[in-house]
Amino acid sequence: MTDRALAVVRAGALTTVQDLGRPGHAHLGVPHSGALDAPAAALVNRLVGNPVDAAVLETTLTGCALRPRSPLVAAVGGAPGPVTVDGRPVPWGAPVRVPAGALLDVGPAVAGVRGYVAVSGGIAVEPVLGSRSTDLLSGLGPPPLTDGTVLPLGPVTGPPARVDTAPQPGPPAELILRVALGPRDDWFTRHAVRTLTTRAYRVAAASNRIGLRTEGPALERAVPGELPSEGLVLGAVQVPPDGRPVVFLADHPTTGGYPVIAVVTVADLPATAQARPGTPVRFVRAGHKSR
């Protein structure tokens, strides 16, 4: 019987299993989770012939190295970087055949932050609440990969895509995030609201899968004190005591007591997955043209 498994030779800085996430459990305190750059994850799944909900690997900056125990097709997307099979360069952003026992090495990202590795059949770890995603906040799903981890693979369901390479958006030189104000914009001065939507921010190094933290002008409060904890949604722009906005991402907490000044349009969130520290960030009112 064929051994459908993938051995992790080099786990990288932070490599996790991700799929479409586990929506619908916020009332239980469980975040959505799932791939931060969902379009990139969906594309590499299509390239290897997987359904869109198959689990992939999400790497962070340094890539990873994997050794399959049976032949498979792999594709690497998201943050661009070098890819080799047994030391020979192979295309990034295209389906690649990897023999049993060969070393698939996904090198460091040359731009962007998060890479996505799909293999034919998908990563078949045990689902939790309907998802195989690693949730860094709640601890649900498989832990981040370590050297020596062996991942089971699912059955192959379709042929790889017949393309030489697939176009993918490059990592953003500047993040433009459309926002709808509220629900707690009235907790801030008018000047603070204007500052949010007219001044430039930068991605802070402390950003992670829970939230994109920013550096830049502090937002002045009009109402002192703190709120009782209330629900938080994906893309919520919460303002902690230091006044610098935090955009909540896939592993965000489901409740919080700091006021939410705005909410980012969901379609703009995938780009946050590829924004390196120092990347300029601008918040633009939804429906308003950016300068």
What is the chain's pLDDT, residue by residue, as a tens digit (291 residues)? 469 999 999 999 999 999 999 999 988 889 999 999 999 999 999 999 999 999 999 999 999 999 999 999 999 999 999 999 999 999 999 999 999 999 999 999 999 999 999 999 999 999 999 999 999 999 999 999 999 999 999 999 999 998 877 788 889 999 999 999 999 999 999 999 999 999 999 999 999 999 999 999 999 999 988 889 999 999 999 999 999 999 999 999 999 999 999 999 999 999 999 999 999 999 999 976 544
Q: Give the count of alpha carbons within 13 A of 104, CB side only.
A: 27
- DSSP 8-state symbol, 72: E
Farthest CA pair distance, the chain: 67
253, two tokens: 């907490």
172, two tokens: 């953003």
Q: Could you tell me the pTM of the whole model?
A: 0.95
The ranges assigned to domains in the chain are 5-152, 175-285
Sheet holding 72-78, edge to edge: 16-18, 56-60, 114-119, 72-78, 96-98
pLDDT given for residue 68 in this prediction = 98
CATH T-level fold of 175-285: Cyclophilin (2.40.100)
